[in-house]
Homo-oligomer: A and B are copies of this chain.
Amino acid sequence: MKLAFIGSGNMGLPMARNLLRAGHQVTVYNRTRKHAEPLVQDGASLVDSAADAVCDAAAVITMLADDAAVEEAAQSFQPPLARGAIHVSMSTISVACAKRLAGQHAGRGQFYVAAPVFGRPVAAAAAQLWIVAAGPAEQIEKCRPVFDVLGRGLSVVGPDPWLANVIKLSGNFLIAAALESLGEAFALVRKSGGDAGQFLEIVNHALFNSKLYANYGGAVAQSHFEPAGFKLHLGFKDLRLAQEAAETAAVPMPLGGVLRDRFLAALARGEGDLDWSALARIASLHAGL
């Protein structure tokens, strides 16, 4: 499958590499060309604009930082992109943005598939992402070989692309909620004379039995927030997008409000570049620890 790949950052680079190694023909564009250069040895063609990348591509994959970056890229490649070609939008973007993009592509006889992923750069490199895809069923099927190369699992959630974004954002909301709950429980245990690490071990053995709790909880128990696997300011961005989606759907989410304040308290402390699990430390700080 002839592919264009826009965005070779922390996530995009290993994803593009996996596609190349699996034998796909991939033309890559990244705003900072240097970051894409390591892909040349895997067979990538580098180009100097998003428009150049999509010429004669059956699908263009975007893996960029935020709404603005994806919309800017789409603006520049929508005309050259062929009728019938697919924009596979894998970034974590807003529901509103996904709706706009889907509409624009439809207007040009192109397809739009939303396919955000769960997983950090390490998982991207190991082809262990979990992909949540939504859009026209036939187009998703066409992309399946791509998804198979990139991840360990694929969930197809329906024909409305933006639903995939709702699910990605809601998943991140669940992680943030788990982080905050651990943060509050740790504060209580510690101020009561206990050890957060031992408490974590107990509840994970007795209750959750989840690597996610073990890994994130361990980081919080040890205040180990650097290097960041996922930066706190990006986590805040995702929370805001979840809140925007909740606003559109008129869904009160009180935990969302609590999380928002934790993020803001962390940002007020200048901690935006720490791992987002640092939001769980705020509970201890506010308890005077």
Report A's interface with B, CB cutoff 8 A: 95, 118-119, 130, 132, 153, 155, 157-158, 160, 162-163, 166-167, 170-171, 173-175, 177-178, 180-182, 184-185, 187-189, 191-195, 198-199, 201-203, 205-213, 240, 242, 245-258, 260-262, 264-265, 267-269, 283, 286-288
Contact = CB atoms under 8 A, between A and B. Distances in A.
Number of copies: 4
Contacts of A260: 252, 257
B95 A192 contact: yes
Given A167-B203, A251-B268, A261-B286, 11 more contacts: A162-B192, A167-B194, A171-B185, A171-B202, A188-B249, A252-B260, A252-B261, A252-B286, A253-B261, A254-B254, A257-B260
Given A130-B206, A202-B171, A268 B287 contact: yes
A192 B286 contact: no
Chain A contact surface mostly: helix
Instruction: Specify which of A155, A174, A201, A245 lies most central, judged by the most chain B CB atoms within 10 Å of its CB.
Output: A174
Nearest to A204: B210
A178 B180 contact: no
B250 A267 contact: yes
A251 B187 contact: yes
11 contacts: A155-B202, A158-B194, A167-B189, A167-B194, A170-B188, A171-B207, A173-B188, A188-B242, A188-B246, A253-B261, A265-B288
B207 A118 contact: yes
Contacts of A162: 192
Contact of A158 (B153, B175, B193, B201): B193
A174 B182 contact: yes
A181 B184 contact: no
Contacts of A193: 158, 160, 163
Given A163-B192, A192-B95, A187 B287 contact: no
B251 A287 contact: yes
Instruction: Specify which of A153, A207, A247, A283 lies most central, judged by the most chain B CB atoms within 10 Å of its CB.
Output: A207
